[in-house]
């Protein structure tokens, strides 16, 4: 576009138009720079964990969950090998387990998982009462699970059964005891996020709790039911 002569009536309007255009371009560039500075590090941080970023909660928790599942997988693999080596010992020992307590504990953990999911869902509303209520119910059910597990252990101790009785009970106490330790740690997490009850915190703790549920749903049929 050719600039008008300085003596022209349109020259002043032309200068104002040029100034307005430069001001608009300057604002756009500034907004773009701010956006890059704000979103750039966040995007880099968000993509640092790869596929774990798409999972609910903190990616560090999922690293812990995956590693714990691998440990339980090794224990179950060892159980299967020993079962094939001494099937009679395993079948006879399984018959001595209290299936009723094992079944009740399964229902308890399934129900606790439901309330953990409700705690996650209600925390989206930024309210504190319902998430804390659901977390409290989840924790109470977890405590009930531990009480029944201690009662089951005491039953076995009363008849002289211990971790050294045979290979079945060695693996039984190792797997159920290791699982109980995870229940205790899960209760600690639930108590922690009931105070620091941001949505991501509750997601993270409940993801761990669902892992606890999942492991028991695998242990119960293998230890108590499968012959």
Residue ranges of alpha helices (H) inside 47-97 are 59-85, 87-94
- Tell me which residue of 144, 200, 167 sits closest to 81, measured CA to CA: 167
Residues shown for the chain:
227
Mean pLDDT for the stretch of residues 125-135: 86
Q: Which residues of 135-160 are buried (b: 16+ CB within 10 A; e: fewer)?
A: bebbbebbebbeebbeebbeebeeee
Mean of pLDDT values over 157-172: 92
Which two three-digit tokens encode residue 83?
Answer: 């079962």
- CA atoms in the 13 A half-sphere facing the CB of 163: 6
Question: Is residue 126 scored above 80 in pLDDT?
Answer: no
pLDDT over threshold 60, residue 55: no
3-state SS string for 181-200: HHHHHHHHHHHHHHHCCCHH
Q: Which residue has the higher pLDDT, 181 or 19?
A: 181
Model confidence at 77: pLDDT above 70: yes
What does the pLDDT read at residue 60?
A: 75
212 pLDDT band (50/70/90 cuts)?
Answer: very high
Contacts of 65 (CB under 8 A, 6+ apart): 207, 208, 211
pLDDT bucket at 41, cuts 50 / 70 / 90: very low
Which pLDDT value is given to residue 156?
Answer: 93
Q: Provide the 8-state DSSP code for 221.
A: I
Model confidence at 63, in pLDDT bands (50, 70, 90)?
Answer: confident
Nearest Cα to Cα of residue 177 among 223, 208, 225: 223
Q: In the prediction, which pLDDT does 129 show?
A: 87
Residue 206: pLDDT over 60: yes
The residue that leads in pLDDT, 148 or 41, is 148
What pLDDT does 2 receive? 55
Q: Give the chain's mean pLDDT.
A: 82
The two three-digit tokens of residue 69, written as one number: 């599942």
Using CA atoms, how far residue 3 sits from 24, 25, 201, in Å, is: 20, 20, 62
pTM of the predicted protein model? 0.73
Would you say the C-alpha torsion 217, 183, 54, 67 has a positive or negative sign?
A: negative
pLDDT at 21 over 80: no
Q: How far apart, in whole angstroms, are the C-alpha atoms of residue 84 and residue 87?
A: 6
CA distance 13 to 18: 9
Superfamily of domain covering 59-225: Cytochrome c oxidase, subunit III, four-helix bundle (1.20.120.80)
Question: What one-character DSSP code corresponds to residue 174?
Answer: H
Tokens of 3: 């600039």
The pLDDT of residue 179: 94
Q: Return d(Cα 204, Cα 191) in angstroms, integer.
A: 13
């Amino acid at each position: 576009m050719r600039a008008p002569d300085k003596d022209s009536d349109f020259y002043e309007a032309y200068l104002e138009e040029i100034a307005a255009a430069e001001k608009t371009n300057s604002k756009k560039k500034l907004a773009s720079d701010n956006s890059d500075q704000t979103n750039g590090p966040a995007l880099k941080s968000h993509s640092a964990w790869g596929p774990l970023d798409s999972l609910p909660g903190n990616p560090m928790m999922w690293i812990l969950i995956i590693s714990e599942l691998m440990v339980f997988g090794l224990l179950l693999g060892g159980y299967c090998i020993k079962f094939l080596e001494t099937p009679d010992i395993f079948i006879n020992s399984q018959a001595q387990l209290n299936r009723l307590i094992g079944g009740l504990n399964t229902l308890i953990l399934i129900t606790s998982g439901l309330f953990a999911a409700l705690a996650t869902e209600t925390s989206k509303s930024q309210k504190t009462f319902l998430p804390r209520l659901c977390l409290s119910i989840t924790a109470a059910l977890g405590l009930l699970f531990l009480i029944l597990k201690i009662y089951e252990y005491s039953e076995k101790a009363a008849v002289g059964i211990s971790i050294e009785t045979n290979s079945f009970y060695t693996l039984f106490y190792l797997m159920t005891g290791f699982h109980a330790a995870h229940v205790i740690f899960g209760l600690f997490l639930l108590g922690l996020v009931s105070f620091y009850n941001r949505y991501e915190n509750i997601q993270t703790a409940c993801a761990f709790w669902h892992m606890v549920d999942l492991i028991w749903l695998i242990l119960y049929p293998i230890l108590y039911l499968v012959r």
